[in-house]
Amino acid sequence: MDSLASGRFTITADAADRALARTLLARAQGTDTFPGLPRPRDAVLIQIAPDLRRFREYSGAGAPEWGSAIAIPAEHRIVMQGTAAGSDAGDPTAALRHELAHLALHESLDDLPPRWFDEGYASWSAREWERDDALAASVGLVLHGVPPLDSLDAGFSGGAVRAGMAYALSFRAVADLAALDSARGLSLFFARWRASGNMDRAMREAFGITEASFEAQWRARTMRRFGLLALMANLAAIAALVALLLTPLWFARRQRERARLEAMRAAEAAAERAARASAIALLLDAAGHEPKRTEREGPSG
């Protein structure tokens, strides 16, 4: 296991992941600031696991089955999959940025942020705008609307699909919160939160809005923005499914109609042949019974 170090970062990796380790180290060192937070100072260990077994071994029992990277704030440590990871692991530089944001947030605010904010902030810091795509195609959004923020935490351990929705909603909540102050973003909010230890008070002081009011506005805005898109996407999916189910029936009906038409044509042809044969037979029969004239026969009288 090789070890590379620069600044506050140390990366360990097998020889097969040495090039990836150098790339990640340079990216971490070159983008070591996070929106609204003081520049982090804690030393960070980044472990690149050569395979899934080692990833599970390094990350421990808390890692989800579908995860490709995990931050462990209490140990100032990040575990990532290496080049042997599948395509579903995503961009490793984006994954590292996401996990480093977790560590930076915890270094500044410790355990104050709830899980939804922690994950939403990490996604927002990593500029994971594709999270909105999950909202634009969500069946749950159409059927149940936008859930309360405090219900999102359970979604992160509810399987890949449910977690994906929790990430997307959390990302949207943090992005909307940061947009409340176009000049300072989250910096004043974080300072007030760190000083008071209370999220609602920090929102009042930084944005002039209560936590409950922000949540109500966020839910309404998210539903307006993505509800119709989700409905249209799901209607399109339903239409495609119906078409997929009906296509074999349509082909079967066409085949039955074609067979019936062929049978009708065959019957008509047979009837026509029979009629023609009957007409010829009648003509021949008539010709065979016609009386013959002789030379002796002449006009009477």
Q: Is the pTM of this model over 0.85?
A: no
Residue 261, pLDDT > 90, answer no
**Type of residue found at 252:** A
Structural domains of the chain in order of their starting residue, each with its CATH number:
1-111 (3.40.30.160), 127-253 (no CATH)
Q: What is the pLDDT of residues 184-229, one digit of tens each?
A: 999 999 999 999 999 999 999 999 999 999 999 998 888 877 755 4
Mean pLDDT value of segment 98-115: 97
CA distances from 26 to 6, 9, 23, 203, 270 (A): 8, 10, 5, 36, 85
Residue 89 near residue 68 (C-beta atoms within 8 A): yes
pLDDT at 196: 96
Rounded Cα distance between 79 and 11, Å, is: 10
CA distances from 123 to 117, 127, 273 (A): 10, 6, 80
Q: Which residue has the higher pLDDT, 285 or 178?
A: 178
Mean pLDDT value of segment 24-43: 96
Mean pLDDT value of segment 93-110: 97
DSSP letter, residue 39: P
Cβ contacts of 72 within 8 Å, gap of 6 or more: 59, 60, 62, 78, 79
Query: At residue 49, what are phi and psi to the nearest 5 degrees?
Result: -85, 130
